[in-house]
Amino acid sequence: MRGPHNIWRLIRTGATLERTGAMNVVLDAFDATPGLRFMARALGLPFKFLGYRGDPSMPPATRALTALGPAYIKFGQVLSTRPDVVGDDLAVQLRVLQDKLPPFPVDVAKAEVEQELGLPIEAMFSQFSAPVAAASIAQVHHARLAETGEEVAVKVLRPQIERAFRKDIDAFYLAARMIELVSPGSRRLRPMEVIRHFDGVVRGELDLRLESAAASEFSANTKEDAGFQLPAIKWEYSARRVMTLQWADGVSMGDNAAIDAAGHDRVALSERVLQLFLQHALRDGYFHADMHQGNLKVAPNGDIIAYDFGIMGHIDEYTRRVYAEILYGFIRRDYHRVARVHFEAGYVPADKDVDEFARALRAVGEPIFGMDATRISMARLLTYLFEVTERFGMETRTELILLQRTMVVVEGVARSLNPHINIWQVASPIVSDYIAKSLGPRAALADMASTARVLARFGPRLPGLVEAALLRQSNETPSKRRPRKRWLILSAGVGSAFTMALVALIETLV
């Protein structure tokens, strides 16, 4: 896809940024060097008349990206999860980016469904509505299964969307290379890595089988969570470009009047949405990373319904424990503990002073804990925390940035339901329970059992490993024999075949 069209697309992009007034906003957010500013202006200013006008009612950045089309809208959404790259102010603007585009005709959608699923539309669906929602990559239709009469939502990718994205992503790669060439200082922001991350996100969203799999995994993890439900995937009516799932009845989480009219308890909902997010992040390490009001409903029975699984977050067990210890330390106001966790995890370089870091953390936490409950903000604390750790040389960790961004969004949802919510009181039982289960004696035993299971997989190979280790050592000259041989002698002396096998395995792996 490389060719002159990439240069033309970048010129059109620069012209649109100039015409909408977004150029300075974007350059300032990226802290652009004089050379980079000159290149951007050269691509945009002379051709300003070629730029798209966009919607003047929108902020400059969102106006420009919306005018440039689906790939740019999606890029803006992804960048909204990376305040470490674009800065907090622009990230906030991009977070409210309107992911709404004119729908494509329903007849085209039906043709896409028939082609993907290999059956006439009437054989699958007794009803198939006009689009009920249209986004940058796909649109959704309300339908009814012909076989069972069940109501479903059918998500269909836009025609030729893969080709359109491929062209624009190629232009993004070219822009990233040019930025690195003209402005070596910008490499600290890793523009090529940002584009590769975006490319990976888009590739996942352009294959709806992957989104279906994400929804299925999320459902399996959360099936026992009280007051929470997910629409079931209809695998027989899903494919690469089509995803069918159970229709979710309920009122929007963003409509307080409708929630009140339905008789739901907004205080209980605000606490539950926050605790559910923390449970999913800490307990499972797999969480919905786009939990804004538009992706949440309240069912008639009061359950919270989540949908749209295009962006999911994953953090490993070790990172979860670190994150929980950090939150728990702040809840207990034990700043030395929080500081030690950062050093032990390697988040802060070892040559920094742990006591100085603890004092900096105290300066972050104490003002927040002195606030009225209506102003206590976990999102604000996390934001300040990242600022402090950046000053102490902490490297950016993408998974924590996504976690932070989602925490900000979820806190916003909770406060929209109940402005007087005390975030820390609501979070404390979830974090404390996770700490008790993951860091206590029972957790240590579980870790040992997990290690034993891994070693057990080598069971059939242990005799051969022992024999190979003994032969290798018997062939070594005394001067070349490693001290570890003594462990083999000791193990033989006590008659422990398992110890011999274990040491042989360790020697083989080390």
Quick one: what percent of the chain has pLDDT higher than 70?
A: 75
As a whole number of angstroms, the distance between CA 275 and CA 410 comes to 10
Per-residue confidence (pLDDT) for residue 274, from 0 to 100:
92
Full DSSP string of 163-184: HHHHHHHHHHHHHHHHHHHH-G
User: For 377-429, what is each residue's pLDDT tens digit?
Assistant: 665 666 666 667 667 776 656 566 677 768 877 888 888 899 888 877 888 88
Mean pLDDT across 5-22: 85
Per-residue confidence (pLDDT) for residue 272, from 0 to 100:
96
User: For 493-507, what is each residue's pLDDT tens digit?
Assistant: 334 444 444 444 444
Under 8 Å between Cβ of 191 and 176: yes
Q: What share of residues in the chain are helix, strand, coil (percent, to 5)? A: 65, 10, 25
Quick one: what percent of the chain has pLDDT higher than 90?
A: 27
User: For 156-179, what is each residue's pLDDT tens digit?
Assistant: 999 988 888 888 888 888 888 887
Per-residue confidence (pLDDT) for residue 509, from 0 to 100:
43
Strand order in the sheet with 304-306: 228-229, 304-306, 296-298, 251-252
| Closest to 191 in 3D by CA, of 9, 420, 36 | 36
Per-residue confidence (pLDDT) for residue 492, from 0 to 100:
40
Per-residue confidence (pLDDT) for residue 379, from 0 to 100:
57
Tokens of 411: 């806190």
User: For 138-155, what is each residue's pLDDT tens digit?
Assistant: 999 999 999 999 999 999
Asked if pLDDT for residue 487 goes beyond 70, the answer is no
As a whole number of angstroms, the distance between CA 229 and CA 4 comes to 49
Per-residue confidence (pLDDT) for residue 40, from 0 to 100:
79
Mean pLDDT, all residues of the chain: 80
Asked if pLDDT for residue 462 goes beyond 80, the answer is no
Per-residue confidence (pLDDT) for residue 297, from 0 to 100:
95
Tokens of 381: 């604390």
- The answer to which of 25-29, 76-80, 220-224, 258-262 has the lowest mean pLDDT is 76-80
- The answer to which of 203-217, 222-236, 474-488 has the lowest mean pLDDT is 474-488
- Predicted TM-score (pTM) above 0.75: no
Per-residue confidence (pLDDT) for residue 162, from 0 to 100:
87
Under 8 Å between Cβ of 249 and 234: no
Tokens of 339: 């500081």
Question: What domains sit in the chain, N to C, each tagged with a CATH number?
Answer: 4-99+162-196 (no CATH), 105-157+207-247 (3.30.200.20), 251-452 (no CATH), 458-509 (no CATH)
> Which residues form the catalytic set?
290
As a whole number of angstroms, the distance between CA 374 and CA 377 comes to 8
Higher pLDDT among residues 330 and 51, named by residue: 51
